[in-house]
Amino acid sequence: MTKQEAQDKIQELTKELNYHNHLYYVEHKTEISDREFDIKMKELEDLEDKFPELKQPDSPSQRVGGEVTKEFETVKHRFPMLSLSNTYSKEEIIEWENRIKKLIDHPLTYVCELKYDGVAISVRYENGIISQAITRGDGVQGEDVTTNVKTIRTIPLKLKGDHPDDFEIRGEIFFPLDRFRKLNEDREEAGEETYANPRNTASGTLKLQDSSVVSDRGLDCYLYSVTGNDLDINNHFQSLSKALEWGFKAPKESEKMIKR
């Protein structure tokens, strides 16, 4: 096989496997069997081993991990990651609304959505390719966990559609309950201490040095906040609709996860 033929095949397999990954993990649909997928993945990995310089930045082989990170770099957020306020008082909500009404001169509209019990993450995309993923940290700076985040199959490596050239999207990485229970069952059988709760385990998993272990654990993610400069987006609900079009796993109105 010539280098050009290898390049064409790598590009073809990368595109095809990313399509099936999105279909399976985000849309919950399948068009090929697991065996067919595995055969295509093995073919891609063999070609990438033979021609490492031809590996694509969105290669699905990154999903299986294998890189070891000895130390996570601390990075300053371009846009601060603020924490959310909460309340259990109807009066406080009314006061909050009244304060907003004094600042604007048009009717208020609201978007209500679920609260996810996970680990906050900010993921940056440049020219449609994932370039960096940073934990919330103290809101001003966090840790660069890009290698581990790339193993999460619901976070796209490459976007589709008419997306901004440079932006960030924020969300929550979480441990699905069935995967968490299975992990604890396996640890119990091995005589190891079980984990206390899914949230803390998701946080700890995201900081593991071996990305292959992160991949095996099967973390998931909902992304719900688009951030950037000069975005052609009018409101929060529109930003989430766009995020779905770009290939993100975001809350859907049809699944009663968000409501205008």
Q: Is 9 helix (H, G, I), strand (E, B) or coil?
A: helix
Is 90 exceeded by the pLDDT of residue 84?
no
| Residue range 232-251, pLDDT digits in tens | 898 899 999 999 999 999 99
Provide mean pLDDT across the span 172-189. Answer: 95
pLDDT exceeds 90 at position 105: no
State the burial class of residue 94 (Cβ atoms within 10 Å of its Cβ: 0-12, 13-18, 19+): exposed
**Torsion 241-242-247-250 (CA) sign:** negative
Degrees to nearest 5, angle at CA 214 with 149 and 140: 40
What would the mean pLDDT of 24-40 be, rounded to a whole number? 87
pLDDT-derived band at 130 (thresholds 50, 70, 90) equals very high
Residue 30, both tokens: 């399948």
- Mean model confidence pLDDT for the chain: 92
The answer to whether the CB of 56 falls within 8 A of the CB of 14 is yes
Identify residue 203 by its one-letter amino acid code.
S
**Which of these, 159, 152, 82, 84, lies nearest to 124 by C-alpha position?**
159
Assess contact for 193 and 187: CB atoms under 8 A: yes
Instruction: Average the pLDDT over 195-209 and give the result.
Output: 93
The confidence band for 28, taking pLDDT boundaries of 50, 70 and 90, is: confident
Q: Left, alpha or beta for 137 (phi > 0: left; psi -120 to 50: alpha)?
A: left
Mean pLDDT value of segment 203-228: 94
| Annotation says 101 is catalytic | no
CA distance 61 to 69: 17
**Other C-beta atoms lying within 10 Å of the C-beta of residue 144:** 17
* Catalytic position from the list 70, 90, 102, 115: 115
pLDDT per position as a tens digit, 53-70? 999 999 999 888 767 777
**Is 119's pLDDT higher than 80?**
yes
Quick check: 27 pLDDT over 90?
no
Q: Which residues, other chains included, contact 130 with Cβ-Cβ below 8 Å and sequence gap of 6+? A: 58, 123, 124, 146, 149, 150, 155, 156, 157, 158
* 229-246 burial code (b ≥16 CB/10 A, e <16): eeeebeebbebbebbbeb
pLDDT at 75 over 80: yes
DSSP 70: S
Closest CA to 116 of 200, 222, 230, 231: 222
Least Cα distance to 180 among 195, 161, 159 occurs for: 195
What are the structure tokens assigned to 145, written together?
């966990």
243 three-class SS: helix
Q: What proportion of the chain, given as a percentage, has pLDDT over 70? A: 99
Beta-sheet strands, E only, within 14-127:
74-76, 112-113, 119-126
Nearest residue to 209 via CA among 96, 78, 71: 71
**What confidence score (pLDDT) does residue 107 get?**
86
